[in-house]
Structure 1
Amino acid sequence: MVKLVAIGNRFMKDDAIAIKAAEALEDRLICQDIQVIIGETDFQSCFYLLDKDDFVFILDALSSGAEPGSVHMFRLEDVMSQPSSFTMHHDLSMVELMKLYGSQFKGYLLGIEIFEIGFGQELSTALREKLPFICRIIECEIKKIIAEEITYA
């Protein structure tokens, strides 16, 4: 099964970008047989909802210094084999939990570049204005990856 897991904190401004994008895309992804899991900060429960044969998309905010709203894609196998070169705003990320348990999930980490992290329930203006564009990029990339990499029996 294909699963998208959205991680973030709704009360830390742009850290919620993955949640907002997943919620905006949820109906469209479900129509494509993609299970959407809104994990918020409870990535540990999300981890236990994954089966070893799942193809997983992890959607999270990240800070690498790139243009706010840009979407970065990394193969999970590459991310798992290297130390993190970007910052996620959680004490322990879902990727770190996968490393800890030696999980070998197939899939991708899709990181959305943040503009501002701080207390607040709204995205920064920079990301709020780009949300439709961010969603289009995410949906197009997911469709492309599914078409190229996943074969159904």
Structure 2
Amino acid sequence: MPKKIVILGVGNLLLSDEGVGVHVAQEMMNMTLPSGIEVVEGGTDGFGLIDIIRKTDRLVIIDAVKGGAQPGSIYRFDIDDVPDSPALFKTSVHQIGILEVIHISELIGKKPHTTIIGIEPASIEMGMELSPDIKALMSKIIELVLNEADPAHQ
């Protein structure tokens, strides 16, 4: 049986760059992707994503990550590289972080091979548009995500 691959964009569209994951997911939903890759716009659903996560073999998450680097910096890390409650790498400002949801998924039976592509936000002010710096990175972020999701893409 082929592996189920999910690209999951999370974030809050009301806080400009905090919504970068959702913007990337929306853009990718309009693309022709390799077969077997599903794109999900997760927004700030938190626990609502647990079923998607549990039914996935390979998960690539796109989210804003405040790591303290220059705005527009792109991080790539595997879920196993991040401690259960990261003090320095707290992803997002959602009510429950995606890291917690994945760890809960593991506790109830399955944790997919998960990679996070994080983007350092330039702005998390109220607003539905990405900042120009982050918007300019969209094609680069999509390329990175596709390389993670589909090794044949490289």
TM exceeding 0.5: yes
| Residue 93, structure 1, aligned to residue 105, structure 2 | no
**Unpaired stretches in structure 1, ≥5 consecutive residues:** 149-153
Q: What does 1:107-122 align with in structure 2 at a 5 Å threshold?
A: 107-122=114-129
Among candidates 4, 7, 31, match of residue 7 of structure 2: 4
* 1:55-74 equivalences in 2 (<5 Å): 55-74=58-77
- Runs (4 or more) in structure 1 with deviation over 4 Å come to none
Give the Cα–Cα distance (whole angstroms) in 2 for the partners of residues 42 and 13 of structure 1.
17
Structure 2-normalised TM-score? 0.79
Residues 71 and 134, structure 1, Cα contact 8 Å, conserved in 2: no
User: For residue 146 of structure 1, what is the amino acid of its counterpart?
Assistant: D
CA–CA distance in 1 between the matches of 2:75 and 2:142? 10
SS at match of 1:97: helix
Moved more, 65-74 or 55-64: 65-74
SS in 2 for 1:31: coil
Q: Identical aligned pairs, as a percentage?
A: 25
Aligned residue type for 2:71: P
CA spacing shift, 1:140–1:7, aligned 2, 3 Å: closer
Unaligned ranges ≥5, structure 2: none
When normalised by structure 1's length, the TM-score is: 0.80
Question: What CA deviation, in whole Å up to 9, does each residue of 1:16-54 have, x standing for no partner?
Answer: 111111222234363343100001111322221223551
- Is structure 2 residue 57 aligned with structure 1 residue 54? yes
Corresponding residue number in structure 1 for 2:19: 16
CA RMSD of aligned residues (A): 2.3
